[in-house]
Amino acid sequence: MTSIAIPRPAYAERPWILDWLMTVDHKKLGILYLYTTMFFFAVGGILALLVRTQLAVADNTFVNNDAYNQIFTMHASAMLFLFIIPVWAGFGNYIVPLQIGAADMAFPRINALSFWLIPPAGLLMFSGFLFGGAADAGWTAYSPLARGSGVGLDLWIISVIILGVSSTIGAANFMVTMFRMRAPGMTMFRMPIFCWTMLVTAVLQLLATPVLASALAMLYIDRNFGGSFFDPNGGGNAILWQNIFWFYSHPAVYIMILPGMGIISEVLPVFARKPLFGYKAFVFATMGIGGLGFSVWAHHMFTTGAVLKPWFGFMTFMIGVPTGVKMFNWLGTLWRGSITFEAPMLFALGFLSMFLIGGINGTFSAAVPVDFAIHDTYFVVAHIHYVLFGGAVFAVFAGLYYWFPKIWGRRLDERLARIHFALQFIGFNLAFFPMHLLGLDGMPRRIATYSESSGWETLNLISTIGAFLIGVAMIPFIINVVMAFLRPKDQPNDPWEANTLEWWTTSPPPVHNFDSLPEVHSERPLWDLRHGKTAH
Amino acid sequence: MPSTGKLRVIRRVNLLISAALLAIATISPAFAGWGMPDPITDQAKRIQDLWVFTLIIALAVFFAVEGALLYAIIRYRKRGDELPKQTHGSTALEIVWTSIPVLIVIALFSYSFIVLRDVEKKAPEDALSVDVTGFQFSWEFVYSLNDLGTNTDPNADGQISIIGTAAQEPTLVIPVGEPVEFRLKSNDVIHAFYVPNFHYKLDVVPGRDNRFVITANETGEFTGSVRSCAG
Ligand code: HEM
Ligand SMILES: [Cu+2]
């Protein structure tokens, strides 16, 4: 047995509120992460509804141009930097130590720091609204344009740097945890697939996030100390920002989706009652996506005329290969299985069907001449939402329904979950499918309004109706959670008959996680216990 | 009885497919240009061909994978307590389904490479050229009448300048059937020069000499757009 010194929180001594504020327990921090990020999901969602309200009809004057720029910028920034990236750290915090049979993360205090950087950074970013206007240059803050925008952008820069620090130290923590603290018998290739995706994500964060920080620092210097990194009139380069920004932000797309793929790969085997088809192929495909992710950044820059188009087009197509391998492995997992459709599985299947579209409509941008037509139009907005909403957000809900019994000791109601799923699935497609057609017809993204003569009104109205349907879909979810909290904790250790170690301990687990650990002989230790090692 | 189960599944899948076909038939008039606006240049035609080619492959992949997914969901739902066979994977299958996307990638890349080369062909020496300057929030077009051969006053330098304002977009008239080169300049931020019917856009980057060539093949009035926060 290995033993690791971990500062144990002195419980029962502190009042409830101090206990949460001062905790270094990965489970409590994980819960804090989840609450905080779901809060920003709601904020980002409300901003999205403002965007859609403005675009519902032609020549709308619901908000003016300046306000619109702030709203869509903050929508995207909140969704990416304050919701989807840290929400995986939230799941990872709670689940990774449990899945590898550890008592906590490797560095509990650094873990607490990672979390506590997020709320102030979020407030800072949004405080722009109080100081003459929030950031308004898009989440991409393209320079030279962004050199000239208001003070809200400075707050945004500082906030994003702080969030970057949070995820960088968090990444180091996850890596050390998974390398050093796995249960006896758990080799790397017996580690649950969610852990693997968190590990690759952590590597990407460690390599990419500092690059973003450097770009942000340069932009801050340009704006405040007379620098001219991005100003050709002062000897700088107008394309430099895009190169550095996308060198971070393309890998960041995988930071936003890989852990979601991990969750899906936990859920499918449990509810199809089969192991993940091609576990090793899946791990290598994840690494492949991570590696290729660093060689495609300029596919965002084909229309600058400043990049080697065939190379970046080719590499972008190539990412389709490991992604395709994953898709086939997921299908292989379902094939000849014995499938049931509890809530986590519904959202996992929603992920498979919608993320597929996000993968397919992305390849159009890899065909460089087609990208000339669709770049910077609503086609791209459709693409990112099929990936980030149809993919990542469906995975977030799969994870929430799946681990809710473990984290909070209660099970969410299946009927309400089905209503939630149906509304979200329909609303999502209504909101985002029409955007393909709008983009092809030339509707540029990031415009505050469009004229009636454009002929874009009907599709935009449909999209807005879909967006509000997504909003409505959250009502049964919230009711479900509130009702669950009103019930006593009643969940057994392993309500789903699952495979991995988090289901070995109680729901919720004790402070120290495990009183004992089973032997680990495969990536499904609990399955082995239930059915015997021979049932492989 | 498993065979009736299978039949029922097949009937259901058939039903789904016919519903999908019906839906496509109803909305297809909206897809006259396969979703794209009318191509008005030779280059745009080529890009539209590539779009259609890519779309057909995309739809094939879409229907194949979603079909397999639906089939699995219906066919392999839980029927009893018996455990399914625990298959962990298959190297042969992994090789097969790594090769399929590789082949698709090669096809898509080759065709887009050819189209890219063609639409980016340089202008002939004597081509008409238009200098375009982007500013916030409109355009200036400058071209020479000498190039057009319509300069009636030999003393004038024949430079024509058309400046737009934020409220009044500038109108540029170009000849049909001959190549026209656009040279893009910006002195402030990055703009993008975009005419949807060209199926083409190119950024106007301060400090860069970006050019593109089109050969118009249709007359008419087409609107372009000014983009100052390209991203
Ligand atoms: C109710 C759900 C949502 C709706 C209705 C919605 C709607 C929109 C719309 C209409 C835009 C385009 C704004 C413009 O270009 O003028 C947009 C942009 C964006 N959204 Fe969402 N969104 C939703 C959820 C999400 C989620 C969950 C994410 C990420 C996790 C996300 C990420 C983004 C990003 C990154 C952009 C910026 C695209 C760009 O760079 O132009 N959205 N959203
Ligand atoms: Cu990218």
Distance (angstroms) between ligand 2 centre and the Cα of A253 equals 7
The percentage of chain A sitting over the pLDDT mark of 90, rounded to a whole number, equals: 91
Of A273, A279, A364, the CB nearest to B88: A279
Tokens of B172: 């540029």
pLDDT at position A480 is: 98
Interface confidence, given as ipTM, is 0.92
Beta bridge mates, B159: B144
CA distance B216 to chain A (A): 16
Compute the half-sphere exposure of residue A64: CA atoms within 13 Å on the CB side of its CA. Answer: 2
Contacting residues for A168 by C-beta, under 8 A, at least 6 apart: A205, A206, A209, A210
pLDDT by residue (tens digit) across B90-143?
A: 999 999 999 999 999 999 999 999 999 999 998 888 888 888 888 777 778 887
Q: Whose CA is nearest to atom 27 of ligand 1?
A: A389
pLDDT by residue (tens digit) across A285-305?
A: 999 999 999 999 999 999 998
With cut-offs at 50, 70 and 90, classify the pLDDT of residue A144.
confident
Average pLDDT over residues A131-136: 92
Q: Do residues A138 and A446 lie in contact, with contact meaning Cβ atoms separated by under 8 Å? A: yes
Place of tokens 């729901």: A507
Q: What are phi and psi of B227, to 5 degrees?
A: -125, 120
Q: What are phi and psi of A339, to 5 degrees?
A: -95, 135
Q: What are phi and psi of B216, to 5 degrees?
A: -70, 145
pTM of the model as a whole: 0.91
Q: Please provide the distance, in angstroms rounded to a whole number, between the alpha carbons at the two ends of chain B.
A: 58
Find the Cα–Cα–Cα–Cα dihedral A311, A437, A143, A236, rounded to 10°.
40
- The structural domains of chain B, with segments of one domain joined by +, span 33-119, 128-229
Q: Do B205 and A304 touch (CB under 8 A)?
A: yes
Place of tokens 């599985």: A345
Comparison of pLDDT for A330 and B206, the residue scoring more: A330
Place of tokens 């050969």: B215
Task: State yes or no: pLDDT of B144 exceeds 80.
Answer: no
As a whole number, the mean pLDDT across chain B is 81
Out of A79, A139, A245, A254, mutate this one to test ligand 1's pocket (max ligand atoms within 8 Å of CB): namely: A79
CA–CA dist A268, B220 (Å, integer): 55
Task: State yes or no: pLDDT of A1 exceeds 90.
Answer: no
CA–CA dist A231, A241 (Å, integer): 10
CA–CA dist A345, A357 (Å, integer): 19
DSSP letters, A314-365, are: HHHHHHHHHHHHHHHHHHHHHTT--B---HHHHHHHHHHHHHHHHHHHHHHH
As a whole number, the mean pLDDT across chain A is 94
CA–CA dist A253, A299 (Å, integer): 13
CA–CA dist A371, A224 (Å, integer): 35
pLDDT by residue (tens digit) across A466-488?
A: 999 999 999 999 999 999 999 99
- Which amino acids bring their CB within 6 angstroms of ligand 1? A 45, 48, 51-52, 72, 75-76, 79-80, 83-84, 138-140, 381, 384-385, 388-389, 392-393, 431, 445-446, 467, 470; B 231
pLDDT by residue (tens digit) across A6-50?
A: 555 555 578 889 999 999 999 999 999 999 999 999 999 999 999
With cut-offs at 50, 70 and 90, classify the pLDDT of residue B228.
very low
pLDDT by residue (tens digit) across B10-36?
A: 666 666 677 666 666 555 545 556 888
With cut-offs at 50, 70 and 90, classify the pLDDT of residue B7.
low
Q: Do A336 and B84 touch (CB under 8 A)?
A: yes
Residues of A in contact with B189 (CB under 8 A): 144-145, 148, 238
Question: What angle is formed at CA A502 by the lines to CA A498 and CA A503, rounded to 5 degrees?
Answer: 40
- b (16+ CB within 10 A) / e for B20-59: eeeeeeeeeeeeebebbbebbbbbbebbbebbebbbeebe
Question: What distance lies between CA A56 and its chain's CA centroid?
Answer: 27
Place of tokens 């996307």: B101
Q: Does domain B128-229 have CATH number 2.60.120.260?
A: no
pLDDT at position A535 is: 47
Residues of B in contact with A340 (CB under 8 A): 77-78
CA–CA dist A52, A435 (Å, integer): 12
CA–CA dist A237, A239 (Å, integer): 6
Helix intervals (H) in A181-308: 193-224, 240-272, 279-292
pLDDT by residue (tens digit) across A497-518?
A: 999 999 999 999 999 999 999 9
| Among the listed residues A473, A513, B43, the one whose alpha carbon sits nearest the alpha carbon of residue A505 | A513
DSSP letters, B70-89, are: HHHHHHTB--SSPPPP----
- The structural domains of chain A, with segments of one domain joined by +, span 21-530
Q: Do A349 and B84 touch (CB under 8 A)?
A: no
CA–CA dist A389, A395 (Å, integer): 9
Question: What distance lies between CA A384 and its chain's CA centroid?
Answer: 12
Q: Do residues A139 and A157 lie in contact, with contact meaning Cβ atoms separated by under 8 Å? A: no
Average pLDDT over residues A184-195: 97
Among A172-176, A276-280, B144-148, B178-182, which is the least confidently predicted range?
A: B144-148
Distance (angstroms) between ligand 1 centre and the Cα of A98 equals 34
**Atom of ligand 1 minimally distant from the CA of A467:** 5
Of A305, A369, A437, the CB nearest to B203: A305
Tokens of B77: 């739902």
| Homologous superfamily of the A21-530 domain (CATH) | Cytochrome c oxidase-like, subunit I domain (1.20.210.10)
Q: Does domain B33-119 have CATH number 1.10.287.90?
A: yes
Of A277, A280, A376, the CB nearest to B230: A376
pLDDT by residue (tens digit) across A413-454?
A: 999 999 999 999 999 999 999 999 999 999 999 999 999 988
| Among the listed residues A238, A321, A357, A391, the one whose alpha carbon sits nearest the alpha carbon of residue B106 | A321
Beta bridge mates, B179: B215
CA–CA dist A149, A220 (Å, integer): 12
Residues of A in contact with B112 (CB under 8 A): 313, 366-370
